[in-house]
Amino acid sequence: MNIGISILLAFLLDIILGDPRRPTHPVVLIGRFISFLENCLRTVFKTSKGLKAAGIILWVIVVFTVYFVTFFIIKTASNFNWFLDQIINIWLLYTAFALKNLSEEAFKIFEELKKNNIESARKRLSFIVGRDTVNLDSREICRAVVETVAENTMDGIISPLFYAFIGGAPLALAYKAINTLDSMVGYKNKRYKDLGWFSAKMDDIANFIPARIGGILMLLASSFMRLNTRGGLKTLISDAKKHESPNSGIPEAITAGVLGIRLGGYNSYGGVMSFREYMGENFREIVLEDIKTTVKLSILTSILGLIIGEVIRCAIL
């Protein structure tokens, strides 16, 4: 079966079924592998310089293991049965995408806010963001959801699609390993600033091209939705570079621009306040409907990524 068809079927499975994180889910297994290796490496490397070296070792072991294990599973299945090979390949690709889960989580928060269940909305928000949520009001919850959906459109959908089209399930899962490493150890706090520096840097590199392709797709999607595409482009040019990440600022800036809102501001992480540069003009306050619009923008951006990826692959082959 053509890899393009496998990606299409995997994408459709994600839209229909979602991708709940079962104990056997590849990303869950990757996370456990990272934790195991981290504990092992910390028993050997103690100094700042040693932990930086351990960070490189951690990244290399995890990413290459995930790639080659995935490749081996698919290769072994193909030696037994063609049908089994296709099923496993599609399933592995399916686990790399997170479109339905991202959309559903955002809509659950939307529904809680619509019912004025602020406590429930805060709790659900805590499942998808790293910031503290216990004291957020409805406007700040909306901002957090909009920012998270915009950013994860790239990390959770566009980037896996990009690598799936290039190298199939092995490369898509290797990317998920890179992204999981960053989410687990890529922090600048006391515990991870040395061990996680390499994972954070490599995540930036891995997302560099997909984020820019995704930005173009998001602007195109905004034009189809009759949003302020010109405002999105203007904000992208002026504000994306303000974000501490070279990639996350792209979807957030575009989203702020096309909606005519301002993102960024003060967030609390572990009780410590931090400030993220503002993106977009504060033409109006963020409202509940902005969550729905952002989710629709995310979905359309992802579908465009799939369609254009399939067209380019067919043209090349």
Average pLDDT in the chain: 94
State the pLDDT at residue 1: 61
| Size of the chain, expressed as the number of residues it contains | 317
Kindly indicate the confidence band of residue 178, based on its pLDDT and cuts at 50, 70 and 90: very high
268-317: pLDDT as tens digits: 888 888 899 999 998 899 999 999 999 999 999 999 999 999 999 888 87
Kindly indicate the confidence band of residue 183, based on its pLDDT and cuts at 50, 70 and 90: very high
68-95: pLDDT as tens digits: 999 999 999 988 888 888 999 999 999 9
State the pLDDT at residue 269: 83
115-125: pLDDT as tens digits: 999 999 999 99
pLDDT of 19 above 90: no
Read off the pTM: 0.93
More confident residue, 206 or 130: 206
| Domain layout of the chain by residue ranges | 3-316
